[in-house]
Chains A and B, each alone.
Chain A
Amino acid sequence: MSVALVAMHRVSCAYGRDRALEDVSMVVEPGDFIGIVGPSGCGKTTLLRSILGTMQPCDGQVVRRERLKIGYVPQVETVDWQFPVTVREVVSMAKPTSRWSPWSTREERSTVDALLERLGVGGLAHRHIRELSGGQQQRVFIARALLRAPELLVLDEPTSGVDVRTRHEMLHLLAELNEPGLAVLVTTHDLNGLAAHLPHLMCLNRRVIAAGAPRMVLNPRVLEATFGAPMAVLEHAGMPLVVDDYTHFNDQLFRTKEA
């Protein structure tokens, strides 16, 4: 039986008097690939912060495995793109070093190069981060998170603001990283592009609304409770496909027009 990387027991978090998370329990085990979905302000980032240890719960307990190494990829919106830093500098800054010298060794440089190559951004090491495309920028920050050889990779909205192709590439990349056993935890509000393809989902709206395989949790009742708006679920190529449900709205609109 594997030991959980992170276990949350009835965790609540608050900003002042406002509770952002209420009574949330979840377990992340080695090799898990979990998506956390919910609308903006539902507590996704707060949940991540409590897992990362940068926010203390006001109730409940977060237990992390001893000496757990977590790689964290923040939302790209939080990055200062004007900061003078090259791709190599971004990745290298995460390397813990006991050496006195600030310069990377040849071995460290080749580790960074190999990592960038593996993530499909090889040859960009000397470029400024602002000069890259959205997908390439995400890969650079994933490379930085992977440099410490984490057991858990946490990504906050990795497909926010990227095009369809980049979203597909990101999904494939995360699946590839998860394959050898790296646990991946990702927040998203992208239901069809990302969430529906993950093996396990948790629908969150301050509380856990539902958790399980996409086929189980992506249903109109859970989605309405999570997003606060009616949604319909179709099936396409054996996958659930979530669409906005305007039936009620249309009926009302036509009734008003006819009247």
Chain B
Amino acid sequence: MESLLDPFQYLFFQKGMLVATIAGALCGVVGVYVVLRGMSYIGHGLSHAIFGGAAASSIISFNYFIGAGLWGLVSALMIGKVTRRKVIGSDAAIGVITTASFALGLALFATFGSARKSVDAVLFGSILGVSSTDIWALVGMSSFTAAVLVLNYRPLLFATFDPDVAAVSGVNTARVDALLMLVLAGSILVTMKIIGVLLIAALLVIPASIARLLTNSFARMLSYSGVIGALTGATGMYLSYHLNVSAGASIVLVGAVVFVVAFGATTMKRQVVVVG
């Protein structure tokens, strides 16, 4: 029993548990819109795009959150604009914008090797090295996201489900889309240092996908996804201590296991219903 509670005696672990839980819930909720809008690739690409901003901010010793945040927002708006046009495939356009930004980040880190933030920390995350500023940024972004999603619940749902009819029915879909991109970019920004660029897309997609398997209601999917994100974040963080693997990988693997279980259970349930 003592060994189970062992990690909680360390302050770094307590902080890690807190950020993993909040980041899981935040990405879980935002991920619902990402998954239902078929934007999983945008979430993945955006984290790579923000990497370029993180590198540039680090090189010129500019505030990480402001520099990478602005970079991410511009990338998100560009991606949003590109996805509305259908001249070339949106996936190809996203690939161009985000991989170019990612490549720029790598080039900047390679050229100015004395940069304070290492490439590894940004790529794979360092949940145990989070500062108080990082925690406050995460809490602030989570509060902002909650406010945006609550105040714009119906327009966001309408524009996600049926954008054409929403526009005709008086919903300012351009504003709603921009707001969602802002929330997505901000969420990636504050969780990127925790889970890392390479795994953040999983944090956005897995809880929402599990929640989708469990319910046919949008409101319930939102709440389930937030709770699943928080629980997998906390469980993954806890297991990472005992299994001695990186927190980011552990969180994503816990999410993947839950997804497999949920998928198996819902498939079996459906078969039972069909046979019965």
Contacts and interface: CB of A to CB of B under 8 A. Distances in A.
A254 interface: no
A102 B150 contact: yes
Contact of B162 (A74, A96, A97, A101): A74
A79 interface: yes
A80 B168 contact: no
A170 interface: no
Given A74-B162, A84-B36, A54 B169 contact: no
Given A102-B150, A148-B169, A54 B217 contact: no
Interface in A30-74: 52-54, 70-72, 74
Contacts of B154: 92-93, 95-97, 102
A86 interface: yes
A248 to B, nearest CB: 41
B218 A78 contact: no
Contacts of A53: 168
A101 B168 contact: no
B216 A93 contact: no
Given A84-B221, A148-B169, A74 B158 contact: no
A47 B150 CA distance: 36
Contacts, number: 67
B217 A85 contact: yes
Contacts of B168: 52-54, 70, 72
B180 to A, nearest CB: 15
Contacts of B165: 72, 74, 144
A89 B169 contact: no
A94 interface: yes
A102 B157 CA distance: 10
Interface in B135-159: 149-151, 153-154, 157-158
A83 interface: yes
B218 A89 contact: yes
B170 A96 contact: yes
Contacts of B153: 102
Contacts of A80: 161
Contact of A84 (B150, B158, B162, B212): B212
A85 B151 CA distance: 19
A249 interface: no
Contacts of B273: none
A144 B154 CA distance: 13
B164 interface: yes
Interface residues of B, number: 25
B274 interface: no
B167 interface: yes
A108 to B, nearest CB: 11
Nearest to B216: A128
A114 B164 CA distance: 26
Given A85-B218, A86-B217, A93 B157 contact: yes
Nearest to A73: B165
A54 B161 contact: no
B164 A86 contact: no
Nearest to A90: B161
Given A92-B154, A100-B150, A84 B164 contact: no
B11 interface: no
A70 B217 CA distance: 27
Nearest to A97: B154
Contact of A54 (B158, B164, B218): B164
A96 B212 CA distance: 26
Contacts of B166: 93
Interface string B241-270: 000000000000000000000000000000
B92 interface: no
Contacts of B216: 84-86, 128, 130
Contacts of A52: 168
B61 interface: no
B218 A72 contact: no
B215 A84 contact: yes
A92 B157 CA distance: 10
B31 to A, nearest CB: 13
Contacts of A74: 162, 164-165
Contacts of B272: none
27 contacts: A54-B164, A54-B167, A71-B169, A72-B165, A72-B168, A74-B162, A74-B165, A78-B164, A80-B161, A84-B36, A84-B216, A84-B221, A85-B161, A86-B216, A86-B217, A89-B217, A89-B218, A89-B219, A90-B161, A93-B154, A94-B169, A96-B154, A97-B154, A100-B150, A102-B149, A128-B217, A144-B165
Interface of A: 52-54, 70-72, 74, 78-80, 83-86, 89-90, 92-97, 100-102, 128, 130, 144, 148
Nearest 5 pairs between A and B by C-beta?
Answer: A102-B153, A128-B216, A93-B158, A72-B168, A52-B168
